[in-house]
Structures are given as structure tokens and as C-alpha cells.
């Protein structure tokens, strides 16, 4: 029986299972940014690697500021590598679009978390930039978790199973008592399973086209966090 839940943050609570690269690309499509998906993917990878290797995001930065920084890095890359005119005019509409959708999805996730918190303790394990506590306050999630394990603070990143072990230990439970919920099979589900936890895969639109068709023999699968509540009721 599950005595506690560990949740991933990015693409689990803020996009409902949709990989952030896909969420960003669809916003580019909606606003007709004149770049190909292949070039966008290059820019996305560049921005993520830059943020991962340089101290650009500050501990006091909000989610909105973080998102703006990511978009600016992407658009600067695209403008300089495609020989087009600067694409900075797209920054504001992309930011407003994505931030609004994030707030809506996070509010829905918060409703699910509140119902779960009334039953069992919750923890958060995330690859993030050192400002996750600020982000949680920004979206009203800061009182929901008994422990927050953030890669930039803990010094270990997914897919290393040890980051989930840290979460389990912070909850004062055993791995067999904990269920991990995440959107990434490689970064959440497989390492959490290796750490000895039960797993629930929130399977949404992934970074690759075949991601939704993959099978996971050792985990349960849901298409939305609401299904997690239904799953618990039937046990």
C-alpha cells in the first residue's frame, strides 16, 4: 500500500505530461514563428545545455522569469543561426501564451495534489535550477510537499536513482511504501523503479514521436493526473 507519493515537477505538474519541448514548439506554431521544427529543436537543446552549464537562473527567479530566459536564449540562437532578422518580437507573445497555459495546468494539478495530501504525505523530486521553492510559492504549491529535492541543490540529477532515494529518505518511508509519478520514462519511471519505488507514468506528448507508444511492464500508466485519483479509489 502506498504511504506517500513523490512527484516530478517539470512537464508533470506544469504541462500535464507534455514534454516542455513540445509545449514550446506548439506555441511557436500558434504564433507563426518563421523557423522549422528541426531548427527549433536545435535551439531548445542549446538553451537547456546553456542553462545547465552556466549560472544564469538565480535562486530568486520566478517561473515567469525562468521561462522568459529560456525563450530569449532560443530566439537569440535561432536569429543568429538562420540568418533571419532578429526574432525578439516573438518573445512577449510566446511568454504570455505559455505562462497563461502553465498557470491553468498547474492550478488543475494543485487540485489533485490537495486531494492526495489529505490522505498521504507528498514530496517533490525535480531536475531544476535552484529556484524551485520560489516557483512553488508562485503557483501556490509551497505548502503541499513535506520534502523538495531539487537537483541543483542536492548535487545529483535524474536519471540517477539516488535522487529518488533522497526523496524517500526525506519522507521517512521505505521505497516499497512510495509511488513516484512522472512524465519521463527515462528520467522518472526507470530510475525510480531502480530505487525500489512503485511507479506511475503520466504519458503525454513526448519529445519523440514514438514516446506515447512505448510500453512499461513495471509501471502503471495514466493520461492525466485526475486518473491518479480514480486509480486510488478503485484499489
Residues in the chain: 235
Please enumerate in sequence order all residues whose Cβ is within 8 A of that of 91, keeping only pairs 6 or more positions apart, or say none: 68, 71, 72, 75
Query: What CA–CA distance (Å, rounded) separates 23 from 89?
Result: 19
Residue 232 has a pLDDT of 86
Buried b vs exposed e over 71-90: b needs ≥16 C-beta within 10 Å? bbbbbbbbbeeeeeeebeeb
Beta bridge partners of 179: 5, 198
The answer to whether 124 and 9 are in contact (CB under 8 A) is: yes
Q: What is the pLDDT along the chain (235 residues), one digit of tens a residue?
A: 799 999 999 999 999 999 999 999 999 999 999 999 999 999 999 999 999 999 999 999 999 999 999 999 999 999 987 656 689 999 999 999 999 999 999 999 999 999 999 999 999 999 999 999 999 999 999 999 999 999 999 999 999 999 999 999 999 999 999 999 999 999 999 999 999 999 999 999 998 766 666 789 999 999 999 999 998 888 7
The whole-model pTM stands at: 0.94
The C-alpha cell of 200 is what?
A: 506511475
Residue 213 has a pLDDT of 64
Residue 214 has a pLDDT of 77
Residue 210 has a pLDDT of 60
The HSE-up count of residue 181 (CA atoms within 13 Å, CB side) is 30
Residue 80 has a pLDDT of 87
A 10 A CB-CB count for 3 gives: 15
Residue 64 has a pLDDT of 98
CA torsion sign for 108, 109, 112, 114 is negative
Q: Tell me the DSSP string of 34-70.
A: S--HHHHHHHHHHHHHHHHHS--S-TT--HHHHHHHH
Residue 84 has a pLDDT of 63
The C-alpha cell of 154 is what?
A: 542536492
Residue 43 has a pLDDT of 97
Please enumerate in sequence order all residues whose Cβ is within 8 A of that of 131, keeping only pairs 6 or more positions apart, or say none: 57, 58, 59, 60, 61, 62, 66
In three-state secondary structure terms, 77 is helix
Amino acid at each position: 500500500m502506498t504511504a506517500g507519493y513523490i512527484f516530478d515537477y517539470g512537464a508533470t505538474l506544469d504541462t500535464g505530461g507534455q514534454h516542455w519541448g513540445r509545449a514550446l514548439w506548439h506555441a511557436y506554431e500558434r504564433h507563426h514563428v518563421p523557423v522549422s521544427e528541426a531548427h527549433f529543436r536545435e535551439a531548445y537543446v542549446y538553451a537547456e545545455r546553456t542553462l545547465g552549464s552556466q549560472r544564469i537562473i538565480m535562486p530568486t527567479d520566478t517561473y515567469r522569469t525562468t521561462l522568459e530566459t529560456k525563450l530569449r536564449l532560443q530566439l537569440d540562437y535561432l536569429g543568429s543561426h538562420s540568418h533571419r532578422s532578429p526574432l525578439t518580437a516573438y518573445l512577449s507573445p510566446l511568454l504570455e501564451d505559455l505562462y497563461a497555459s502553465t498557470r491553468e495546468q498547474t492550478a488543475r494539478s494543485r487540485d489533485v495534489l490537495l486531494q492526495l495530501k489529505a490522505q498521504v504525505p507528498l514530496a517533490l523530486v525535480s531536475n531544476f535550477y535552484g529556484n524551485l521553492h520560489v516557483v512553488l510559492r508562485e503557483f501556490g504549491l509551497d505548502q503541499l510537499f513535506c520534502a523538495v529535492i531539487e537537483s541543483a541543490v542536492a548535487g545529483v540529477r535524474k536519471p540517477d536513482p539516488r535522487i529518488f532515494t533522497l526523496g524517500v529518505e526525506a519522507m521517512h518511508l521505505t521505497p516499497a511504501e512510495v509511488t513516484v509519478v512522472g512524465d519521463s520514462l527515462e528520467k522518472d519511471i526507470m530510475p525510480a523503479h531502480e530505487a525500489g519505488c512503485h511507479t506511475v507514468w503520466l504519458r503525454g506528448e513526448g519529445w519523440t514521436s514514438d514516446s506515447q507508444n512505448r510500453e512499461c511492464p513495471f509501471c502503471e500508466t495514466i493520461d492525466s493526473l485526475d486518473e491518479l485519483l480514480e486509480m486510488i479509489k478503485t484499489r
